[in-house]
Amino acid sequence: MKSSDHKSSDHKPSDHKPTDHKLQTAKSLFEPSPETMALEITPILNEPALTVTNTETALVIADLHLGIEWDLYRSGINLPSRMKERLIRIEGYIEETTPARIVLLGDVKHNVPQVSWQERDEIPRFLEALAAYAPVDILPGNHDGGIELLFNRNAGIRVHSAKGAVLDGIGYFHGHTWPAPELLGVRSVVTAHNHPTVRFTDSFGYSTNDPAWIRTRFNPEVLREHFKNLDFNDKTAWANPEVFIVPAFNELCGGVPFNESTCEDLLGPAFSSGSIELDSAEVYLLDGTRLGLVKNIRKLEHTRPRPKPKPKPGKIGRSRKNPNEGSDLKRD
């Protein structure tokens, strides 16, 4: 259902919608903890998107990386733009969930530091199309520099701080920075940035990476080192939030296999510092399968960590001194 207060004058919502299956929500996937019983965080079954319901319902999508085809073209890979298909897919989510707001959890665009001609052409149309249905909140990621210049001053599109924001009682931040202190005083935080996956490897060494949802918590002992002025004994400042890590919407981006990663392998200071628990994190596949805790998955034959290949001579990797450097497309 469209919001009549946020219609775009130059866009007519598409009549198309996903035809492969009717969208279903995984109601039992993230059972609420006792302290968040009034809050529902519900992944859409077999899709890298979720709804968050408190006093209103938000549709949450992360890591769209619109314009990635231009970057691939520069690397010698010629793919047509899939912006229209991605928009139709999201419109299908909107039709099924009728959200009051649409939260884009960072890396809406792909190219850094420049803005490509593809992004200049497609992102304004994409964002204004979504705003025809509901207000759009952008929690900018490390790829989103200058995104506020890529759409008209539409009242239905808002760009928040890169450190995140609290919307309807839920904290959101992309994950390439430390979260704003106010996010630690809410019961649930939704983040992204690392494109979480699980790598399955068979006895012949063939492997596949499946997108995954991660449910975990912050580690207050590590957080204290960064948030020195925060009173962790004050329940209004520190609510021991649950953390939900969203898989990437764009399948061309690749991802980080959490079952083969240490904190140091993850991107963003809250992840790489160990401020977000990894070993005790729960892992779910998009089809709703609960695989268990990361530390237990690592003990299984097909999901145990494998020896990492040695980097090729001359390969340029992302600097560990600056975990926000480089493109999320290029992951070891």
Question: Taking the domains of the chain in order of start, what are their residue ranges?
Answer: 37-297
| Rounded-to-integer distance, Cα 33 and Cα 236, Å | 18
8 A C-beta contact, residue 294 and residue 310: no
Strand partners, 201: 207
Angle (nearest 5°) at CA 117 between 115 and 118: 100
* Residue 52: closest CA among 233, 260, 326, 242: 242
Helix 83-97 with 117-131: angle, nearest 10 deg: 20
pLDDT tens digit string along 8-62?
334 444 444 444 444 565 654 566 655 555 789 999 999 999 999 999 999 999 9
Tens digits of per-residue pLDDT, 290-305?
999 999 999 988 888 8
Find residue 214's DSSP bridge partners: 245, 283
Say if residues 328 and 63 touch (Cβ distance below 8 Å): yes
**Whole-prediction pTM value?**
0.82
pLDDT at site 27? 56
